[in-house]
Structure 1
Amino acid sequence: MSRMHNPPHPGEILAEWLSETTLVDAAERLGVTRPALSRVVNGRASVSAEMDIRLSKALGTTPGFWLSMQAQYDIWHAEREFKEHVEPIYKIA
């Protein structure tokens, strides 16, 4: 799988999907609080597995779609911030 250069936080994409409704209405339909949804939409919180399922059911996306986007975002940023040296681990035959 090719990785996207500087992928957007899934909240940015979600904001576009929800542009026709209010956060209050979307949160009610998802069964979450407005602050919880707002944190995701504004990139201050990650998409959890539970939120991924809620979004997939409400928006018609496949389970794992939002979580995969979150993983791509997290890995891209982690690779740029990780500075430690890690020793290889070899399998003993």
Structure 2
Amino acid sequence: MNMHNPPHPGEVLREWLACVTVTEAAERLGVTRAALSRVLDGAAGISPEMDLRLHKALGTTPGMWHAMQGDFDMWQAQKRFRAKVQPIVVAAA
């Protein structure tokens, strides 16, 4: 089931990290401050590697953050999708 207009996972992550600075969170995650800031600002997505870092640091389920990114990306793609596509009929063997 697709969520209606899901937030960028960086918005959700910003709430999770509200009690620490971006610099401290980046250090604990083992990433640069700039890389984490891009995610938090919605300018970059959450990669599988970042998902695993967040899983280890925050105790979340592996894949949770990456799945949120997938939901966000799919929603954005569906809003913009205008390609003309024709069905492909596959004959039964």
Q: TM-score, normalised by structure 1?
A: 0.96
Query: Aligned ranges for residues 66-81 of structure 1 at < 5 Å?
Result: 66-81=65-80
Q: Identity of counterpart residues, as a percentage?
A: 60
The equivalent of 1:23 in structure 2 is: 22
1:87 Cα deviation after fit: 1.3
Query: Aligned ranges for residues 1-93 of structure 1 at < 5 Å?
Result: 2-93=1-92
Deviations 1:14-57 (A, max 9, x none): 00000000010000000000000000000000000100000011
Deviations 1:35-91 (A, max 9, x none): 000000000000001000000110000110000000000000100101011111222
C-alpha distance in structure 2 between counterparts of 1:36 and 1:61, whole Å = 20
**What's the RMSD between the two structures over aligned residues?**
0.6
Runs in 1 of length 4+ with deviation above 2 angstroms? none
Q: Gaps spanning 5+ residues in structure 1: where?
A: none
Q: Which amino acid aligns with 2:31?
A: V
